Amino acid sequence: MLTVDRVSKVYRTGAFGTNQLTAVQDVSFDINPGEVVSLIGESGSGKTTIGKMVLRLASITSGTITLDGVDISTYRGRGLKNYYRHVQGVFQDPFSSFNPIFKADRVFAMLKGQYFSSMGRDAWQHKVEAALDAVRLDPAAVVNKYPHQLSGGQLQRLLIARALLLDIKVLVADEIISMLDASTRIDVLNLLAELKADGLGILFVTHDLALGNYISDKTVILQKGVMVETGETTAVFTDPQHPYTQQLLASVPRLDRRWQK
């Protein structure tokens, strides 16, 4: 469905782009319906950048990303808007995802204005409530509130609910779990599992190996923008080929063992 093919990203900084920084280099993978692909790598390895390229928020320096065979970089205007009907994202930092001077549920209103302008008020109300229900949010607790009046977990779930309002095929979930406490975390993971069962493809960005192992079908391991290992999650986790992956797996603290000198 979504195919990332030898994609690279070079950021240009400094006066007239004199400094270059290769954030992502020759990364390839694909996401099929009902499949969770986890993108694992240390901080700065280019995970968010890949997510942004999939979401057309960052330009692709080389390589192609296609959705159902169509190169996504060709979308403009209406086409792009239609693309976003099918591909949505939830970002790493929920606090920065909301405009601080407006109420949090404005993110819904924005979608209504752009995609459901003809829908009646009541129908829309129902749709939003269903989405909030899906992420286990009580509408009364979140509607008509400003972002700073809500918790990180509530905001994060609002963003997921927002994505659910559209008929999405692919969801880019950029470290959406890291802000949550253990019990909400399980709730959200279960929610993702349900969505996956309904046929949603998920790009699950994380630096937490255990989470990646828990949820994903396929795993991509990134190191400094380069894809060092990729394959079925079980294969990658039981029989890592690349020394970096081996080292990563060896350095995970285990729940069942205590730290010893």
Ligand X SMILES: Nc1ncnc2c1ncn2[C@@H]1O[C@H](COP(=O)(O)OP(=O)(O)OP(=O)(O)O)[C@@H](O)[C@H]1O
Which of the ranges 109-117, 123-131, 179-187, 239-247 carries the binding residues for other proteins, by CB under 8 A?
109-117
Give me the least distance between CB of 49 and other proteins, in Å please.
13
Nearest to 214 by CA among 252, 170, 172, 165: 252
Q: Does 149 bind other proteins (CB under 8 A)?
A: yes
- Measured CA to CA in angstroms, residue 132 lies from 111, 141, 179, 205 at distances of 15, 11, 19, 23
List 25, 38, 48, 245, residue binding ligand X (CB under 6 A): 48
What's the number of CA atoms in the CB half-sphere (13 Å) around residue 214? 16
List 41, 89, 147, 212, residue binding ligand X (CB under 6 A): 41
Q: Give the DSSP H or E segment for 71.
A: strand 70-71
Distance in angstroms (rounded) separating the CA atoms of residues 142 and 108: 12
List the single partner that 45 binds among other proteins, Mg ion, ligand X, none, CB under 5 to 8 Å by kind: ligand X
Nearest to 11 by CA among 3, 1, 21: 21
List the single partner that 149 binds among other proteins, ligand X, Mg ion, none, CB under 5 to 8 Å by kind: other proteins
List the single partner that 207 binds among ligand X, other proteins, Mg ion, none, CB under 5 to 8 Å by kind: ligand X
List 127, 145, 185, 207, residue binding ligand X (CB under 6 A): 207
Give me the least distance between CB of 54 and ligand X, in Å please.
12
Q: Does 203 bind other proteins (CB under 8 A)?
A: no
What tokens appear for 46 in the block?
Answer: 């280019």
Compute the Cα dihedral for 87, 109, 102, 161 and give only its sign: negative
Site residues (CB under 6 A) for ligand X?
11, 13, 21, 23, 41, 43-49, 92, 207
